[in-house]
Structure formats: structure tokens, C-alpha cells
Amino acid sequence: MKRLNNILFLLLISITISLAQNTQITLDSTSVDNPTDPFTVTGSYTLAITDTLSKIQYFRQDNPSAIIEVTNIDTINQTFSVTIDNVGSLAEGSYNYVFQLILLEGSIGAEDTLNIIVDKTGPKIDGHEVSSDFWSFAFPQFEITVQFSEKVKLRDDTKIKLISEKGRALIIPPEKITLQNDNSQLFIQVNLDMINNDSLAQWTGKVGLFIEKIADLHNNIVNLPLDNIITADFIKPQVVEITPHYGRISQKDTTVTFTVSFSETVKKVPDLIKIKKGDLEITPKLTYNNSSSSFTFDLKLEDVETDSSWNGNVEIEMQTFSDQAGNTNNAPDSVLPRIFIDFLAPQVTQTILSTDTINIAFISQNNYSLVGLIRFNEPLDTSNTEANISLSNQNNELSIPAKFLSNQQEIRFVINQEVLEQEQKSWQDFQNIAELSIKNVRDTIGNKTQEDFKIGQLKIDVVRPVPPTLTNEINSIVKEKSISFEGTKEYKAKLYFNGELLSDFTNDSTWSKFNVFLPEDGFYKFSFWQIDWLGNVSDTVDVRVLADRQVPHFVGQGAQLQINTDPQTNKPYFILFLYFNEIVNFEPNAHIQLKTENDYFQIEASEAQNLSTIQKFIIKDSIQINQLFNWLKQQKDIQIYLPAETIADLAGNKNSGDLTHDVFVFIESMISEVSWINKYISPNQDGVNDELRASVFLNSKVPDQILFRVVTLNNNGQSILQINEIFKISQDAGKTKLFENGQLKLNASGSDSNRVVYVDFKWAPTDLEEGKYVVSFYVQEIWEQAASLNIGSLPVSAAIFSDVTPPEIMRITPVAGDNNQYIDIQPDFVFTIDNEKENSPIKDAYLMFSRAIINDAIPIDSLQMDLFPYKPGEVYEFNCKAYNIKLEPGALTVTVTLVDSANNKTLRRLHYTVVGDTVEGIKDIYNFPNPFNPKQGQKTNIAFASGQLNTFKLYIFDMGFNLVYYEEFSSRLPGLASFRKTVPWDGTNLRGEIVANGVYFARIVSDNFKSPILKIVVNNK
């Protein structure tokens, strides 16, 4: 019962599905090209619920009566299959097979159609087009269009090839191949870049096309050749021969016929040949042969005889020619023929003069001579040993002797003072333009020059031009932004202004007026001169102008009020100094004021004394002096005050506003000079140079009582020594005042009218650090009136230096040591010294040789020579050759001694081996500098000693002993012939790249010797 229920359930589902379907028949494939024989057709069907399958049948549409029933039907899966025989025997064409589903009642329930195409013939070429007849340098690219009989397709293995006559094949890249016109045309692009230049000759000739494995849409595959589609020509045409190679046109030989032969057919160009001489040109008519591989042309006398300029050598030019493929070429000069035309009398082709300008510079030379050479176009008749040459102008004529040269085409002549004096002439007789002429010259066939034949001109001016003339007045001080210069110059002369040619005034004009811009304040110097038409230079006219547009104002110290001593009365007086940026004058009735915030002291400007840019006011009136002392005691922060429009500079510029400036009040210094006996000390308590000494000289106005002060500051401005001492000159002369680590001594000599007063200063510090110090001396008079002003005099200061460190030798060349460093008999010693900054420069430097020979004759066991700096403070050298000093071969000790200004001494003993002409092997290798920085452009020099080496090699290795750099040298190069040799390395590798930081190894290698390995450090920081 349960099984029956299941069957009923499935039947119900089947009925439900069938009710939803239509009756259909469906073939798995409805179109087949060139099927195999036999051919199996498969398909499926569905039935509506109301339909029942009777059978499935098929027939060919062109034979509907031949119906065949399908026997292989799967009714459960509703599929079917059938094998159709004899398909392979069908003729080419299209066949439709109709499959029908027949219902039980005999009607057609559904049908489907299978289309079978039978095509066993591949595509054919119906035609082709090529965009060019030639493939050449002129036509490097062409296109091929191939028309097929049907649609085609390109397979993965399809290849399109060009085939040359000589068997060369070129496969066209796929990107250059496209199908067009609904796939029935093949478009191919070809260009010259597809073949190598070295195989161009193999492509010359006919070129074919081969289409390999192209298929139609039915997969019929064919190979299709196309012969001779284009002609390739990559060979330039050549001129094989031009005959004759030399032609002559004369009254006798009136025509020359030339034949030009080519290596192949060329394009006909009517103006291919040009016959030229200078600006003259003839285009002859060309007659080509039948194959256009040669042509002829004529040159006739009638073509040239109308113009005498044709006389002489004539050029034949051949323009660029081309073959049929467009390849172009030029005829080499070696094949072009030469033509000489001679139907005239001898012609001057060139007149060469050592100068054509006779000016003052020329005649001022000692033994001046004008040498001339006249060159003709052909050999001359030299039976007359002299030619007749003359120099002339309207009023004078000079006969000049001349000689024929051995080549028979040149005549040489000389004009000098002797020639002029023989005919009692001078250059001034021929001032301006003089003509050179020649008479009675014949060629070898008797053609004669015309009478007085002109061969050249001389420009003569031996009179110096006058300077240009200024016609307007130029102020020496101006405040305008420009000035004008007006004047005149010599006609035809060039006017120069400040070294530049004034182009606005040409040779043929005179000078009138021009403006000069004054861009900045300051002094300007303007220079004028003129150069006449022949280069004679006039004297210079100089004009100096000060441009000043600045308003006068205070500068620098601005204002200083100095209290001085009157030597006659020994009483104080005042001097007010005002410092301006330029020279000024005070306006009439002007006044100035010493001013504070609440008060002022007035000084009349009429008392001013002009001292260039400094205005000086002297106040000696006793009343005014007392008033000013009293006023100063009550004031602070004093300023000078000048009302507007008070002063004017020399250009007339006035101060547009009020001027103020702080006033510095001080007492006149009594010091006239400070004489330092020693500024450099070495305070190491060894008794040598431990003490600073100076003499402070006082001026002639020194009063009876002075205040003497000494202040010493270090580099940080800290005071390390202060001395304040009051001396009464009449009582304390010769008195010594001791103070810590030093002393002062007052000295006075002479009468009251001629008294010399000075103070000796000594200081011997024991704990002074190395460095720079500033010692300042203050000497002033003591007045009761000024006691409460708290002011002093200006100091006289000097820098002193403390140094206990001996000078240091940083580098020695040649390198010295205990390992037999070799030097030649006349070395150049170079010592690089630590600069020591400015503390104590080198004072003495000298060398001592343990033995030497002077002037090739005088042996000396011990020789001391001074060293001289050629880079001050850093490098000292001594060249033995310069002093004719030779060192004897063998062991040598060189002692170098350096003494700085503080008497600190350095002594070094250097040991060398002096050799004569030979050294065995390669020895004593070192480099300098080491380390070095190639990134900053530094090189290291590798030095060594060796015997005679024809060649040697430098090898540079890295830490892994990989070769980094290699270079070969010849001993014949400058600097490498002696036994001591030096070669550079710039820190690059074999590719020219700068090597990385690190340690590298160098070795010098020759045919017979190897040097020790040298370590080099590269530091590219």
C-alpha cells in the first residue's frame, strides 16, 4: 500500500510538470563546419501533458522525401542520437537537416534544424596593393594591403614574412598586422627599423611576401606567396668616373666636354652641375644616355669670355643626386674635375701687406718696415729682374723697388725709412689715402697689365688727434641723479667714455651732448678720449664728480666732549667734536646745544673749525669752562642737539630735521706711544720669555700729576689685572712701584721745555692660561673741577698672547723614519705646521744636515739652513736645488727646529737614506693625505722609491681583495723618471664611481718587482 502511494505521488508530480511544458525538440548543435564522416547528432525533447510521442525523424532540406526515422531514443531521459553517414562525400556547400517530433496522431509536434557547411578549399589572394615602389632610406616605411577571396582569420602560428632575393627572411611583428574590411583584407606595416643595418645589403633587390598558415572561417589553412611586391635598395649611387679630370679654356681650347658616369640609374636633374668662380655661376646643359647612368656637358669659351672674373681656377660643383629609390649621395671632391681659364693678361689675385694702416704706433717702432707681397694668378715673365711699384697720392709719388720670387707668381717689396729718405719723402707727405700701383708686368705668353694697375691702398695718418673738448662746465659735487656732458670731437674719430665706445656718436659725426646716470652716492671718475679713423689715440680728459644726495647726519662717535690740558697755562679746556657722514658747513647764525631732558648748554656754531667730516669747537674762555664744568656736574645722559636746516653739505643738502646724538665726555689721554718689547710670553717659570714688557711714552703736554691705569682682560672680558697709580712727575721721577707679579717705573729726562716722560711696565704672571689677552693703558691728568665727573681718558690697547705649547709638525715630506726611507741627493723638504691660531706664530725655522756638499765642491759636516714659509703659518719648505746643496749618498740625519714667538721650541731628528741614481726593487711606499675624502674632490698621492722601471701598474683592492681600481703608468711621463715617484688615486673605481668609506689596499707592480701592501683609508664625510 505504501509503494502504491509513492507511485501515485510521483505520477502526480510528473503530471504537474508536464502540464507546465510545451512539446519541443532541441538539437545540441545547430551548425557544424566540415563534419567528420560518419557524424553523430544528439538532442533532447519535451512533451506537453496532452501529447504522446510517436517517433522522431529527419530529412535533408534539399531532399524532403528521403525521411529517416531516429531509432536511438531514450524515453525516460527524453534524449536521442542518430549517426548520419556519407557526410564526407557531400559537395562543398551548405546543407540543412530538419529534425521533427511526430505525435501519436501523426502531426508534427516540434522541429529543429541542423546546418552543415562543407568547405574544403582554403582562402586565395584576389589582389594586393603596396604604398611604395621602393623600400629605401628615402622611403623607409611602406604598407601592404592583401585582398582575399573570403574572410580569413589569423592563427597563433600564422606568420607574415618578407623574403629577399638573397634568401633573407623578416617576420613581421603581430602588432604591425591587422585584418580589415570584414576580415577579408590583410593590412601590413613595414619599416626600416625591423632589419639590422649590417644586413641592409642582403635585402637589396626584389622582395616577396609569404603568408604562412592563414585560415578561412572554416579552418582551411593555406600558405600564400606573393612575389616581387616591392624593390629594396639601400645602396647609395656612386660617381664612378668624371672625365677628363682636368680641363683648360683658352683662346685656343674653346670647348671642354665632360662625361659623368654613375654606378646605377639616377634621376635626371637639369641643374645637377654648377660651374663657379666666386659669385659667378654657370649651369651647363646635361645630356643623359638612354639608361640615365651617365651624362655629358660642355664648357665653352663663349660662356665665360664676357666677364674677366672667370680667369683662373674654376670650381665644378655637383649637387646631391639620387637613384630611382631616392637614395642620395654627393660626389667626393677627389673625383670632381679642375678647370683653368686663361684668356686675360695676368691678374693680381692677392695683395698681402704686413699692414695697410700707417699710424703713430707703426712709425714709433724701431726699424719699422712695411712688407708687401703681390700674388698673381699665373706665372710671370721674370726676364726683367725688378718690377715697377709706386705709392702715390694727389701731390706725391714714391718709387718702390721690388723683386720677383722664385715661384714666378709673386712679387715682394719693402717700404721703410731708408726707401723714404732716398727720395726725400716722409709718411706725412702721403697723409690720408695713398694708392699702390704696379706697371709693366707680363705673363709668360706676353699678356701685359694695364698702365698703373692698382694693387692696393694704404691708410696713412701719423698726426695724433687732440683730446675731445668739453664745452659745458661740470660741477665737482652734484646732488642731481644725472649730469650732462657736452663737447666736440674730431670728425670721423671714435669717442670713448670710461673705456666704452659711445656708439651714438659714429665715425662720421661730431659729439654734441649725452647724459650720464649717477645711480649711487659717491665719487665718480669720467674719462674721455678719442681714437681717430686710423687708431691714433688722443690724451685723456678726466672729470671727477662727487654725487651726494644724502642728508648730512651724525655717524660713528657722533659727539665727543674732550677735556684737555692747555700746555701754556696747565689748565683744562674743552674741545667738542662732532662727527658727520660728510663735510658740512654751518649756516650763518646757527647754534648748537648740549642738552638733557630738562636743561641745555648753548655753543655758538661760529666757533666751529672745519676738519673734513669732523667739526671741532674749542672752548677756552675761563668763564665758559667753569660754567660748563658746573653744568656737567649736575647733568646725566647728555645729547647734542642741532635744529633743522642748521648744516649743509658741499652739494647743498641740508639736515631736514633736528639732529641729536649721545655725547661721550672723556679726558684727553696723555699717551703718545706704547712701545712693546715683548707681546708673547711663555709663563712656565723657566726664565725664558716669562715677562711682558712695554714702555708707555707720554705726550709733551704731560702735567705735573697724572693717573696711570693698567687693565688686562681675557677673551671672556674678565679683568685679571688692574693697576691704578698716581704719579707726581717732579717728585716721583725714577720711582719704581711694585705690584703683584710685576712693577711700574716712572722715568723723566730732559729739561722742562724738552721733557720726555715714560712709564716702564713689567708683568711676569705665573698662572696665566694660554690664549689671547688685551692690555689697556689709561693716562690722564687730575683736575679738581673734573674729580666729581667720574670720567676718564681713552685707552691705548694691544693684544698679548700666552703660549707654553711648542709648535707641532703635522706632516713631513719626504716621510722620515727608521725604515730606510729613501730620498734623492737634492730633495725638497716640506713641513706642515700646526697653525697655533694667533697665540704664537713661528718666529724661527731652520734645518740642519749632518753632512752636505755646497756648490758641487765644498763638503760640510754640519750645515744649518733657514726654512721659509710659502703658506704663512702653515707650510714651510726648503729646496736643496735652489741653494745648490747636494746630499752625499748614505745615512743622513736632518734636524728640524721650530721656535714660536713665545720662544717655545720644537726639535725633530729625521733619518733618511740618500741614494744616487738607482734603488733596488720598489721600496719606501706611503700615501698622503691619509685618510682622504674623494667626495670633496681630494686625491691621495701614492709615493714610492724604485730603480729604472719602463712601466708599472697601480692596483687598488677592497677588504676582500677584490680589484677596485687599476691604472698603468709609463716612467717616461713627466715626474716619473726619477727614482722617487708619485702617482694619484682619486678614490673612484673602474666605473668612475666614488668608492664607499673604508680601508683599501694599494700595491705597485712592475715586471720584476712588487711593492709592500699599503693601507689607504677613505672617509667621505
Output the 3-class SS for 742-791.
EEEEEEEECCHHHCEEEEEEEECCCCCCCEEEEEEEEEEECCCCCHHHCC
**Phi and psi, residue 190, nearest 5°:** -130, 135
Residue 274 burial class via C-beta count within 10 angstroms: exposed 0-12, middle 13-18, buried 19 and up = middle
Tell me: pLDDT of 994 over 90: yes
Q: Are 224 and 208 in contact (CB under 8 A)?
A: no
Question: 686: Cβ–Cβ under 8 A, 6 or more apart, which residues?
Answer: none
Domains of the chain: 24-118 (2.60.40.10), 125-233 (2.60.40.1930), 239-341 (2.60.40), 348-460 (2.60.40), 469-547 (2.60.40.10), 554-667 (2.60.40), 671-802 (2.60.40.1930), 808-914 (2.60.40.1220), 923-1018 (2.60.40.4070)
pLDDT attached to residue 751: 64
- Residue 3's SS3 state is helix
Residue 866 burial class via C-beta count within 10 angstroms: exposed 0-12, middle 13-18, buried 19 and up = exposed
What are 662's three cell numbers?
649721545
Measured CA to CA, the distance from residue 1021 to residue 994 in angstroms comes to: 13
Query: How large is the average pLDDT for residues 266-294?
Result: 89
Preceding amide of 931 cis, omega within 30: yes
- 489: closest CA among 465, 514, 472, 516? 465
Measured CA to CA, the distance from residue 157 to residue 223 in angstroms comes to: 12
What are 961's three cell numbers?
681583495
Tell me: pLDDT of 625 over 80: yes
pLDDT attached to residue 110: 93
Which strand (E) or helix (H) includes residue 642? strand 639-642
Measured CA to CA, the distance from residue 736 to residue 731 in angstroms comes to: 12
State percent of the chain over pLDDT 90.
17
Query: How large is the average pLDDT for residues 393-417?
Result: 86
- CB neighbours of residue 548 within 10 Å: 22
Which strand (E) or helix (H) includes residue 622? helix 622-633
Reported confidence tier of residue 143, pLDDT bands at 50, 70, 90? very high
Q: Are 100 and 24 in contact (CB under 8 A)?
A: no
Most confidently predicted of 77-86, 392-401, 501-510, 620-629: 77-86
Q: Are 995 and 940 in contact (CB under 8 A)?
A: no
pLDDT digits (tens, 9 = 90+) for 676-717: 888 888 887 777 788 888 998 888 777 777 888 888 888 888
DSSP conformational letter for 934: G
Distances (CA, A) of 428 to 373, 455, 490, 536, 659: 23, 21, 18, 14, 67
Reported confidence tier of residue 148, pLDDT bands at 50, 70, 90? very high
Which has the higher per-residue pLDDT, 592 or 13?
Answer: 592
Measured CA to CA, the distance from residue 802 to residue 773 in angstroms comes to: 8
Reported confidence tier of residue 7, pLDDT bands at 50, 70, 90? very low
* Grid cell 687693565 in the structure block, residue: 711
Length of the chain: 1021
Measured CA to CA, the distance from residue 827 to residue 915 in angstroms comes to: 11
Give the residues across from 742 on adjacent strands: 739, 763
Which stretches of 282-329 are DSSP H helices?
A: 301-304
Measured CA to CA, the distance from residue 1005 to residue 957 in angstroms comes to: 13
Q: Are 125 and 145 in contact (CB under 8 A)?
A: no
Measured CA to CA, the distance from residue 831 to residue 812 in angstroms comes to: 5
- The b-or-e profile of 722-757 (16+ CB within 10 A means b, else e) is ebebebebeebeeeeeeeebbebbbebeeeeeeeeb
Gyration radius from the chain CA atoms: 57
* Grid cell 706642515 in the structure block, residue: 832
Preceding amide of 814 cis, omega within 30: yes
Query: How large is the average pLDDT for residues 312-324?
Result: 88
Measured CA to CA, the distance from residue 160 to residue 212 in angstroms comes to: 6
- Residue 623's SS3 state is helix
Measured CA to CA, the distance from residue 609 to residue 585 in angstroms comes to: 10
DSSP string of 162-208? EEETTS-EEEPPGGGEEEETTTTEEEEEEEGGGS-GGGHHHH-EEEE
- 494: closest CA among 515, 508, 484, 475? 508
List strands edge to edge, sheet with 205-216.
134-136, 221-233, 205-216, 152-164, 169-171
Measured CA to CA, the distance from residue 610 to residue 584 in angstroms comes to: 8
Tell me: pLDDT of 100 over 80: yes
Measured CA to CA, the distance from residue 945 to residue 213 in angstroms comes to: 77
What are 507's three cell numbers?
665715425
pLDDT attached to residue 838: 60
Reported confidence tier of residue 163, pLDDT bands at 50, 70, 90? very high
- Residue 16's SS3 state is helix
What are 618's three cell numbers?
674749542
Which has the higher per-residue pLDDT, 562 or 2?
Answer: 562
pLDDT attached to residue 11: 47
pLDDT digits (tens, 9 = 90+) for 371-388: 888 888 888 878 765 677
Measured CA to CA, the distance from residue 394 to residue 435 in angstroms comes to: 10
Which has the higher per-residue pLDDT, 477 or 16?
Answer: 477
DSSP string of 320-381? -EEBTT--EE---GGGS-EEEE--SS--EEEEEES-SEE-HHHHTSTT-EEEEEEEESS-B-
Q: Please state, rounded to an integer, the average pLDDT across all residues of the chain.
A: 83
Q: Are 413 and 351 in contact (CB under 8 A)?
A: no
Q: How would you classify the pairing of strands 863-866 and 842-849?
A: antiparallel
Measured CA to CA, the distance from residue 1021 to residue 734 in angstroms comes to: 64
Q: How would you classify the pairing of strands 453-460 and 469-470?
A: unpaired
Preceding amide of 872 cis, omega within 30: no
Q: Are 875 and 830 in contact (CB under 8 A)?
A: yes
CA angle 803, 805, 806 (to 5 degrees): 115
Q: Are 44 and 79 in contact (CB under 8 A)?
A: yes
- CB neighbours of residue 623 within 10 Å: 7
**Phi and psi, residue 376, nearest 5°:** -105, 165
pLDDT attached to residue 77: 92
Flag the least confident range among 727-731, 829-833, 929-933, 994-998.
727-731
Which strand (E) or helix (H) includes residue 813? strand 809-813
Reported confidence tier of residue 204, pLDDT bands at 50, 70, 90? confident
pLDDT digits (tens, 9 = 90+) for 426-478: 888 888 888 888 877 777 766 677 667 788 889 888 888 888 888 887 778 88
Measured CA to CA, the distance from residue 455 to residue 392 in angstroms comes to: 12
* Grid cell 696723555 in the structure block, residue: 670
pLDDT digits (tens, 9 = 90+) for 513-572: 888 888 888 888 888 888 888 888 988 988 888 888 888 899 988 898 888 887 777 788
pLDDT attached to residue 810: 79
Most confidently predicted of 149-163, 882-896, 960-974: 149-163
Query: How large is the average pLDDT for residues 90-117?
Result: 91
- 884: closest CA among 855, 849, 853? 855
Q: How far apart are the first and last CA of the chain?
A: 103
pLDDT attached to residue 976: 65
